[in-house]
């Protein structure tokens, strides 16, 4: 787990300890206005402090689109990557479905956020970017005015990573493939 996820889990542990102390208080105090009301509030606090709990529950329940939508909405590449790693065993099945069970908007947002930081977990992120690119429909009228700027942003992120001297050779090969796929999509965009 990355530093953000570790920090969130540590904070959740602190909240859990505080909530357990509150739960141990006499019943009259625990139900006083403005105080916590047992496990339901503890669960809500934990989920607020550590979004991976809710994201993991969504993935475990098969709500992949909802998990990605929630992670993308949090604007954290680390959380989006965390969802990708949690769903990774099913990635081939997800993208083999026709149409893919992820909306065009989620696919575009996924490509954009993952391409923002390729310094960590590059092979995982590149596999998801590649498969999202292959599943996106460049002729989708609902997203046509967003498609080109997003793809240009993805292309820029991929290109920067491919020219970085710190990028490993095997990753550069995956980057070149993704760059070609994104370039092909850009050509197909009107």
Contacts of 127 (CB under 8 A, 6+ apart): 91, 174
Average the pLDDT over 116-132 and give the result: 95
- What's residue 43's pLDDT? 65
More confident residue, 6 or 70: 70
Contacts of 169 (CB under 8 A, 6+ apart): none
Q: Model pTM?
A: 0.76
Q: What's the token pair of residue 4? A: 């953000």
The per-residue pLDDT of the chain, averaged, comes to 84
- What's residue 41's pLDDT? 63
Query: How is the chain split among helix, strand and coil, in percent rounded to 5?
Result: 75, 0, 25
> If pLDDT is split at 50, 70 and 90, which confidence band does 30 have?
very low
Instruction: Classify residue 62 as left (phi > 0), alpha (psi -120 to 50) or beta.
Output: left
- What's residue 7's pLDDT? 67
Average the pLDDT over 163-181 and give the result: 94
Does the pLDDT value for residue 3 go beyond 80? no
Residue 166, number of CB atoms within 10 A of its CB = 7
Does the pLDDT value for residue 37 go beyond 70? no
Contacts of 119 (CB under 8 A, 6+ apart): 161, 166
Strands (DSSP E) along the chain, which ranges? none
pLDDT tens digit sequence for 95-106: 998 888 999 999
Alpha-carbon span 182 to 152, nearest angstrom: 8
Helix pair 104-116, 64-73: axis angle to 10 deg: 50
Q: Calculate the alpha carbon distances from 179 to 60, 74, 117, 160 in Å.
A: 32, 26, 15, 11
């Amino acid at each position: 787990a990355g530093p953000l996820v570790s920090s969130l889990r540590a904070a959740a542990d602190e909240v859990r300890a505080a909530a357990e102390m509150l739960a141990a208080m006499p019943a009259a105090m625990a139900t006083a206005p403005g105080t916590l009301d047992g496990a339901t509030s503890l669960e809500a606090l934990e989920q607020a402090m550590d979004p991976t709990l809710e994201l993991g529950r969504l993935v475990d329940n098969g709500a992949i689109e909802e998990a990605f939508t929630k992670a993308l909405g949090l604007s954290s590449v680390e959380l989006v990557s965390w969802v990708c790693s949690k769903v990774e065993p099913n990635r081939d099945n997800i993208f083999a479905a026709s149409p893919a069970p992820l909306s065009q908007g989620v696919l575009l947002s996924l490509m954009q956020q993952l391409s923002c930081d390729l310094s960590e977990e590059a092979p995982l992120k590149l596999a998801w970017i590649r498969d999202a690119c292959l599943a996106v429909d460049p002729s989708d009228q609902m997203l046509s005015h967003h498609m080109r700027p997003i793809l240009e942003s993805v292309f820029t992120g991929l290109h920067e990573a491919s020219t970085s001297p710190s990028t490993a050779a095997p990753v550069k090969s995956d980057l070149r493939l993704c760059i070609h796929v994104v370039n092909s999509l850009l050509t197909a965009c009107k």
